[in-house]
Amino acid sequence: MFLSLVMKGCKNDEEIVAVIAHELGHWKLNHTMYSFIAVHILTSFQFGGYMLVRNSTDLFRSFGFDTQPVLIGLIIFQHTVIPFQHLVSFGLNLVSRSFEFQADAFTKKLGYGSSLRACLVKLQEESLSAMNTDQWYSAYQYYYPPFVERLAALDEADKKEE
């Protein structure tokens, strides 16, 4: 899906190669595998937590149920896990954003930093999304770093090389 958006916005061959290099950076740095493992661990914890709630007769009795209806167990579990979901979501967003910065750095290391920058600018112009949001709001809400932060990271890499 992302590649099809890029193909529409970035017509230059160098820009397309830069985006492919970015995606190869995710592969080379094992980001996909880390994400896959994290999701499976979290899913296992969720099923385990649900089973603890589902099998707790005392918990159901404390809510006034003599039986253990599956739907009620699911509702109780969902309400108890909400604070943890927010923390986990925030953590996953931070990890995802660092993966994006690493993949951008990988692209830059291959020599496609300026092409990636040009493609990011074109995609930003087409999507009309927020360019510069509050740093904390962005870290909590966005899976990808905002446009301005990505360009700043690419610029910072340029300054370190000089």
The catalytic site residues sit at 23, 104
Q: Are 119 and 18 in contact (CB under 8 A)?
A: yes
Q: Are 153 and 52 in contact (CB under 8 A)?
A: no
- Could you give the angle at the alpha carbon of 83 between the alpha carbons of 80 and 85, nearest 5°? 95
Q: Are 103 and 27 in contact (CB under 8 A)?
A: no
Rounded-to-integer distance, Cα 148 and Cα 84, Å: 30
Rounded-to-integer distance, Cα 6 and Cα 27, Å: 18
